[in-house]
Structure 1
Amino acid sequence: MVMVLRLLGRRVISLVPLVLGIILFVFTVMQFSKTDPAVAVFADAPVSADQLEQFRQEHGLNDPFFIKYFVFVGLVIQGQLGKSLATGESVVNMISTALPLTLQLTFLGLIIALSAAFILGTVSAIYRDRWPDQLIRIITLLGVAAPSFWIALLLVQWLAIDNPIFPSSRYINPGDSFSGWLQSMTLPALSLAFPIAAQMTRIIRTSMVEELDRDYVRTARGGGLHPVVVVGRNVLRNALINPLNVLGLRVGYLMGGAVVIEQMFNLPGMGQVMIEGVKNNEPAIVQGAVLTIALGFVVINLIVDILSMIANPKLRSHTA
C-alpha cells in the first residue's frame, strides 16, 4: 500500500509540468491557424469590422500569447476549461457529454483486442513453428501494418454496405437498447482493436516462448505434469507480466485512435468536439479536449503501473 501511495505521489507531482506543457503546446499550435475566431463565430451574420473588433476585445482574443496562456491555466486550476465563443456553452459540459462515448469505444476495443491477443498469442507460442503459428504470424503482420482508418473502411464496405449487418453511422445509447448499442459500436471497436490485437499477440507470443523454454517448465513436464496444467498454472502468470507493462501505451493509442474512428462513423464523442473546435478555431474547446485525453492517458498508465507492481514482486521491491 505504501508503494502504491508513493507511485501515486510521484505521478501527481509529474502531472503539473505535463499539464502546463500540453496547454502550451496546444496554444502554440492554435496560433498558426488562419481562421479568425471572431470571423468564424459571425460567419453567417453580417457584422461590421468594429463589431468584430469589439468581440475580440471582450473575449481577450487580442491579448498577448502568454496572458491568454496563464488565463487558461488559472481556469484549469479552478476546474474550468472556458466557454465556446460561438454558443457560450461550457467546455466542461461539452466534454462531459462526449467523453462517455469515447470511453465506451476505447474499452470495448480494448476488451476485443486483449481477448483476441491472449488466445492467438497463447496458441501461437504452444504451436511454435507449426502451421497455426505461421498463420497467426501472417495475420498479425498484416494487422500491425494496417492503420485503423483503413480497417474501418474495409469493415464498412463488407459489413455495412455489401452485407448490411451493422450500422455504419448511427449511435444508440446503451440505456435505450444494449443490443442496439452493441451493434452501433461493433464496427468502430473492431477497427480500433485489430491493430492493437496484432501488436499484443506478437508480444504475448514472444513472452510465452521465452517462458516455455525455461528450466522449470522442462522439469514440470519431466515430472509428469500435463502441459495444460503447466501452462495454466505457471507459464501464463509469468508470461503476461511483460505484455502488461506495455499495455498502458497501447490503451493510449486506442484513445487517440478513437478520436479519428469516431469521425468516420459519425459518433458524437471527443473526436467530434475536437474537430469542431479546430474547424472554428476555438482554442478553449481544443485545449480542453486535448487536455482531457492526455490526462486519461496518464491515469490509464498509472493503473497499469499499479497492476504491474501487484503482478511482479521484483518491480515492487525495485520501486520500494
Structure 2
Amino acid sequence: MAAIARMLVRRVLILIPLLLGVVLFVFIIMRFSDNKPEYAYFEGSNPTPAQIHQFQVDNGLLDPLPVRYVRFVGQLIRGDMGTSALTKAPVSSSIATALPLTLQLTLFGVVIAIVLAVIFGVIAAIFRDRWPDQLIRLVSLLGVAAPAFWLALLMIQYLAVDRGWFPTSGYINPADSVSGWLRSLTMPALALSLPVAAYLTRIIRTSMVEELDKDYVRTAIGSGLPPIVVVGRNVLRNALINPLTVLGLRVGYLLGGAVVIETIFALPGMGQLMITGVRNGDPAVVQGVVLTIATGFVVVNLIIDVLYLLVNPRLRSAG
C-alpha cells in the first residue's frame, strides 16, 4: 500500500502542471476563435460599437492574455467555468446536467468493450493459428478499421429502422424506465465500443499467446492442474497487464467519440452541449466541455495506473 500511496502522490503532482497546460492550450485556442462571447450575448439584436465595447470592458475581454489566463484559472479553482453568453446560465450547471449521460454512455461502452475483448481474445489465443483464431483476427481487424459513426449509421438503419429493435434516437432516464434506458443506450454504446473492443481483442490475444508459451504454464499443466484453472487464475491475470495501459488511452477515445455518437443519436450529453455551443458561437460552453473531457481523460489514466500497480506485484515490490 505504501508503494501505491507514493505513486499516487507523484502522479497527482505531475497532474497539476499537466492540467494547467491543458487549460492554457484550450484558453489560447478559444481566444483566437472566431466565436466571440460578445457576438453570442447580442445574438438577434443590433448592438452599437459602444455597447460591444462596454461589454468587453465589463467582462475583462480587453485585458492582456496573461491577466485573463490567471483570472480564468482562479475561476476554475473555485469551480466557476464562466457564464454562457447566450443563455446567461453558468456553464458548470449545463455541464452538470449533460455529464451524467456521457458518463453512462462511456461506462456502458467500456463494459461492452472489455467483455467482448476478453472473451474473444482468450478464445483466439487458446485456438492459436486455427480457424477460430483466424476468424477473430479478421473480424477484429475490420472492427479496428470501422469508424464509430459509420457503425452507428448502419445500426440505425438495420436495427432501428428495418427491425425496430431499438429507438433511432433519444434518451430515456433510468428513473422512468430501466428497460427503456437500456434500449436507448445500447446502440450508441455498441457503436462507440466495437472499435475499442476489436483493438483490445488483438492486444489481449497477443499477451495471452506470450504467457501461454512461458515455462510456468507448461510446469503447472504438467503437474496436473486443469488447463482452465491455469488460464483463468494465472495466465489471464498476467496477460491483462499490458491491455490495461492500452485501455486508459482507449477510454479517452470513448470520451471523445461520445461527442459524435451523441450527436447522431440525439442524446443530450456533453457532445450535444458542445455542438450547440459551437453552433451558437458560445465559447464559454465549448471551453467548459473541452476542459471537462480533458480532465476526465487525465483522471481515467491515473486510475488505470493504480490498477496497473494492483495487478502487477513486481511493480509493488520495486516501489
- 1:48 Cα deviation (Å)? 2.7
> Does the 8 Å contact 1:81/1:90 carry over to 2?
yes
What residue number does 1:208 align with? 208
What 5-or-longer segments of structure 2 have no aligned partner?
none
AA partner of residue 35 (structure 2) = T
**1:189: which partner in 2?**
189
Following superposition, the deviation at residue 88 of structure 1 comes to 1.8
Checking the alignment, whether the CA contact within 8 Å between 1:41 and 1:280 is kept in structure 2 is no
Question: Is 1:107 matched with 2:107?
Answer: yes
Q: Distance in 1 between matches of 2:170 and 2:208?
A: 40
C-alpha displacement of 1:42: 2.2
Contact kept? 1:113, 1:193, Cα under 8 Å: yes
Q: How does 1:214-253 map to 2 (within 5 A)?
A: 214-253=214-253
Q: Aligned Cα RMSD in Å?
A: 1.6
Post-superposition offset of 1:125: 0.4
Q: Is the 8 A contact 2:36 2:283 kept in 1?
A: no
Change (3 A) 1:233 1:39: closer
User: Which stretches in structure 1 are left out of the alignment for 5+ residues?
Assistant: none
Deviations 1:174-197 (A, max 9, x none): 111111010000111001110000
Quick check: 2:82–2:90 contact (8 Å CA) kept in 1? yes
Amino acid in structure 1 at the alignment position of 2:11: R
TM-score, normalisation: structure 2: 0.95
Q: Deviations over 1:215-255 (max 9, x none)?
A: 12222333333322221222112212221232211111111
Residue matched to 1:76: 76
Identity %: 61
> How far off its partner does 1:280 sit?
3.3
Within 5 A, what are the aligned runs for 1:127-206? 127-206=127-206
For 1:205 and 1:301, the matched residues in 2 are separated by 22
CA distance in 1, matches of 2:229, 2:137: 25
Decide which moves more: 236-245 or 51-60: 51-60
2:254 alignment partner, SS class: helix
TM-superposition CA deviations, 1:8-42 (whole Å, max 9, x none): 21122122212221121112222332233322332
AA partner of residue 64 (structure 1): P
Change (3 A) 1:156 1:72: same
Find the aligned partners of 2:35 and 2:287 in 1 and give their Cα distance: 16
The CA distance in 1 between the partners of 2:2 and 2:218, in whole Å, is: 38
Structure 1 letter corresponding to 2:74 = G
Q: Deviations over 1:151-209 (max 9, x none)?
A: 11111111122222111221011111111010000111001110000011001100111
Structure 1 residue ranges, 4+ long, deviating more than 4 angstroms after superposition: none
Higher mean displacement: 304-313 or 53-62:
53-62
TM-score normalized by the length of structure 1: 0.94
Counterpart-to-counterpart distance in 2, 1:73 and 1:36: 19
Q: 1:234 to 1:125 in 2, by over 3 A?
A: same
Alpha-carbon distance between aligned partners in 2 of 1:210 and 1:222, rounded to the nearest angstrom:
18
Q: Are the structure 2 counterparts of residues 215 and 203 from structure 1 closer, same or farther at C-alpha, using a change threshold of 3 Å?
A: same
Match of 2:317 in 1: 317
Q: Is the 8 A contact 2:113 2:193 kept in 1?
A: yes
Letter in 2 for 1:73: V
1:169 corresponds to which letter in structure 2? S
For the residue of structure 1 that corresponds to 2:266, the secondary structure is coil
